[in-house]
Amino acid sequence: MKHQICRTVLAAAAVTVGIFLSACGLFRTPADDVFDNAEDAIATDLAADNIKTAQIEYKFGDGKTSTVRFQAPESVRIDVLDGGNSAVFCMNGDSGWMYLGGEVIDMTKDDLKEMHGALLQTIPFRVDFQEIFTDAELEDETEDVCGEECKVIEAVFRLEPGIKAKIWIGEDTDLMRQFEIIGEDGGVYTMQYFDYATFDDDVTLPSEMFRFTPEGSTKLSLVSYETNVEIPESIFRKPELVNITEGDK
């Protein structure tokens, strides 16, 4: 039951805050070019490489808040604060832990896969499309989403071929306007990106979003974004105490 709850939370996080991947295979497709342009619209390789740490805060329409902390090369912690239902998910490379239901437990392989999915949305400037998706196909027709005509790409998750993805990328801005995950159980998780904000370090992030899941919908807003700030390494370590939501254990 505990892991079922965890997967539900991570699946929701996976469609929370945005973005993408690129091409590194021998054979390129039209979808690869669209992905490359979308990556550059978020952050060029140089801008992304200059980010050693990052802290991003979001506010949900239902009152919850979320703080994402990143430390290069691959440490990520996501705090979802919701009173007594608060949770923490932390990944350090190929291992991770989580605070859920009042307990600190190790992540399973399935949990880690879902955490990687969440990173599509939480630290988009560090994500490579081609590492996450495969069998990407660019559809012939465009669609209007969030006020912009968009190119549409269908793909599957490389590590989970049973999970499909659909991505809408603006023709004029190259920014993602909608991201959809279709689970093996048929559940659909959708994120729409209505507005973006560009920061001094040449990084562009979604600032106003709507999330739709089988459990309901909510609005998300970007509250703050800071890079290369001091983040204690200790917050990424698995704690012995359960009171870890303050980020200083």
Instruction: Summarize pLDDT for 40-72 with one digit per residue, the tens.
Output: 988 888 888 888 999 999 998 888 899 999 998
Average pLDDT, the chain: 80
- Can you read off the two tokens belonging to residue 29? 């497709």
- Can you read off the two tokens belonging to residue 245? 């939501």
Left, alpha or beta for 112 (phi > 0: left; psi -120 to 50: alpha)? Answer: alpha
CB 114 within 8 A of CB 104: no
- Domain at 2-236: CATH code: 2.50.20.10
Question: pLDDT-based confidence at 4, cuts 50/70/90?
Answer: very low
What are the residue ranges spanned by the domains of the chain?
A: 2-236
Instruction: Summarize pLDDT for 196-234 with one digit per residue, the tens.
Output: 999 877 889 889 999 888 888 889 899 999 999 999 999
What is the DSSP annotation of 102-164?
TEEEE--HHHHHHHHHHHHHH-GGG--HHHHEEEEEE-SS-EEETTEEEEEEEEEESS-TT-E
For residue 60, the SS3 value is strand
Highest-pLDDT range among 9-13, 14-18, 130-134: 130-134
- Can you read off the two tokens belonging to residue 1? 């039951």
Instruction: Summarize pLDDT for 155-180 with one digit per residue, the tens.
Output: 998 877 888 999 999 999 999 999 99
The pLDDT of 183-204, averaged and rounded, is 86
